[in-house]
Structure 1
């Protein structure tokens, strides 16, 4: 066999008849198992094995899935997604949360961070309240893992699609209130490290177990390194809305690329970043320090049109590319995680295994959730994807429950 087999004692128990996926290439942390199998039972990965390993004794009613030589991957974890299916997390109702998470689940996302935009304090607090309430109940589709606050403590010079009316320096008292009222819900916050009070705020984020992230920033190389010394560990949509790399002035991009303490997001849609630049990033940072994200907005999964908004700013989508009506800046994306994964393999040239790590294990580890999701290992939650040999998404399971995929993904 091509990797390590792990199994739990006994067969499936209780009402869950289980699912056996057989005859596929199983991507595990120890390597790819050719012709392997995965047993899902009671919401968890119960066992993994190779062709020569004895399979579990399936009970009546168990589903048997022929992998047909395709790939079995861990579900994708998207730490930067604003919405989809016509809805935005900034004002989503429970039914709209369902619509957003159903859309992204159908494209392989099994866990995500509901991501905000720059907005007034009360609106951001409302995002926390609604997300916390949604997370407290069983979630039928992609699991909300927490909130990513993108802003409002960014630099207006690099605002991108952030509303400049609400940009301001970091406010420590806001954070203290948020973590007191909604403990554990904020997982990541993006800010400009060069702004007044940002270094102290970064330390405060880290003390509360929140990943501090740089973005929409005019920071110099030296300022990013100083922020990393205080706890900065992440960079949103690397290359976009930050000071670029120059050989005499490395800027934010140079610091992100050269500092191993910082994990780099990238939007691999072919519009935000050229594939060659992503190739350079992945070669420098490695699969354990690059995270694939969608930065998807409400228009993801929707037809072209000029009736969309992002953070209260009018957006036009043409040929699937979303831009602000005023200024023509890119306004998030309409990317899905399966498309990002495919682009990394087909256009950037990374291996299936490395692209999988960037889409699943690395973001899960960064959020402190690597013990339960992000890789195919016995005992972890059964968030599992089946792709065919051409990397098209065929099946999705979240907590062992089948989710209808969107069909042939592009």
Structure 2
């Protein structure tokens, strides 16, 4: 397959060119010759690496906590329409048995593949969080951090765990963080009431990422810098739900300016109502009302989002002065690094997986290519 007449989005520039795909890989960029009859004329549109979502609970009426391969497959197909070609199905703070069931389904989806976006592994959001920063998590199922509980939860599928969100200040967290780091699992701090010093201690133990910046964490105050201050004052990465609801656009711009676009990932934190009409849904066993683009529990707490990554990219482009390639990097290369797949995904390079998007100036998706196939 040859994609011609396109503007290729690299991580540091945009160039006119063409891309040759063969056997699910990018065979050549600007090939001199080719004998491929399967030609896509992009007609001047952009070609981007596929988006990678490292924090997403569900979409299309299905939830990761459904605990089935079928649910994950439906999610993968729903989000692929919006440019997500790989993702980390994200669990909630629920009963250990339910989390275990979801991990088993994720491990299966990672192994055998899906009909849509690739499953790269699991993101466990909880249960080792601070109940005083519960957000939309279920306080009934919060667990004290421990290596033993983690092992019982993941069973034989530790290799399927890519990242975990926890509160570094809770007793037992430091020992678990060290264990997770030794097992090559990305540790993210979130749903945390840590002070600045406690957060920095977590970073020293192995925390290298932070979950949904500004949300469910101690804020930046001029006398106590909090978790937000620790994120800004360290080299760890962070993620933003760029829907204009979870974070105001001025705050987004401040965060991007402080961290730099190499250290920020765009995520959706989407729940099952993503790509669905307004109405009643659930998240982690709790009722959620979706109205006018916002998902909330009965108490008013935000309960994930209905955001898609193409909309997140569009929102940042419209509400900042960053060039398109820098915004796209936050949805491609940066999450690929977190998932430790930057040697084959997240960039347009020869030999990389052919997970590609064709979209126009308004970030309207025209074609999605996953593993070299138009879906």
TM-score normalised over the length of structure 2: 0.97
CA distance in 2 between counterparts of 1:199 and 1:299 reads 35
Select the residue among 290, 313, 337 that pairs with 1:317: 290
What does residue 114 of structure 1 align with? 89
CA distance in 2 between counterparts of 1:134 and 1:38 reads 29
Q: Could you give the per-residue CA deviations for residues 300-349 of structure 1, whole angstroms, max 9, x where no partner exists?
A: 1111112x111111100111211001x10000000001000111111233
User: Does residue 305 of structure 2 align to residue 333 of structure 1?
Assistant: yes
What does residue 401 of structure 1 align with? 373
CA distance in 1 between counterparts of 2:233 and 2:128 reads 24
Residue pairs, 1:210-359, within 5 angstroms: 210-260=185-235, 262-306=236-280, 308-325=281-298, 327-359=299-331
- Are the equivalent residues in 2 in contact too, given 1:292–1:340 (CA < 8 A)? yes
| 1:180/1:91 CA distance change after superposition, 3 Å | closer
CA distance in 1 between counterparts of 2:144 and 2:113 reads 37
- Are the equivalent residues in 2 in contact too, given 1:219–1:243 (CA < 8 A)? yes
Select the residue among 135, 143, 148 that pairs with 2:123: 148
Q: Could you give the per-residue CA deviations for residues 231-261 of structure 1, whole angstroms, max 9, x where no partner exists?
A: 000101000010011112110011111211x
CA distance in 2 between counterparts of 1:299 and 1:390 reads 24
What does residue 101 of structure 1 align with? 76
What does residue 354 of structure 2 align with? 382
Q: Could you give the per-residue CA deviations for residues 163-206 of structure 1, whole angstroms, max 9, x where no partner exists?
A: 00011210211223455501310100001111001111111110
CA distance in 2 between counterparts of 1:395 and 1:258 reads 40
Per-residue deviation, 1:130: 1.4
Higher Rg of the two aligned structures: 1
User: Does residue 19 of structure 2 align to residue 42 of structure 1?
Assistant: no
- Are the equivalent residues in 2 in contact too, given 1:39–1:56 (CA < 8 A)? no
- Are the equivalent residues in 2 in contact too, given 1:257–1:284 (CA < 8 A)? yes
CA RMSD of aligned residues (A): 1.3
- The secondary structure found in structure 2 opposite 1:139 is coil
Q: Could you give the per-residue CA deviations for residues 367-394 of structure 1, whole angstroms, max 9, x where no partner exists?
A: 1110010100000000001111332111
CA distance in 2 between counterparts of 1:340 and 1:56 reads 37
- The secondary structure found in structure 2 opposite 1:395 is strand
User: Does residue 37 of structure 2 align to residue 55 of structure 1?
Assistant: no
Per-residue deviation, 1:56: 3.2
Would you identify which runs of 4 or more consecutive aligned residues in structure 1 move more than 4 Å?
none
Per-residue deviation, 1:207: 0.6
- The secondary structure found in structure 1 opposite 2:243 is coil
Unaligned runs of 5+ in 1: 1-18, 404-410
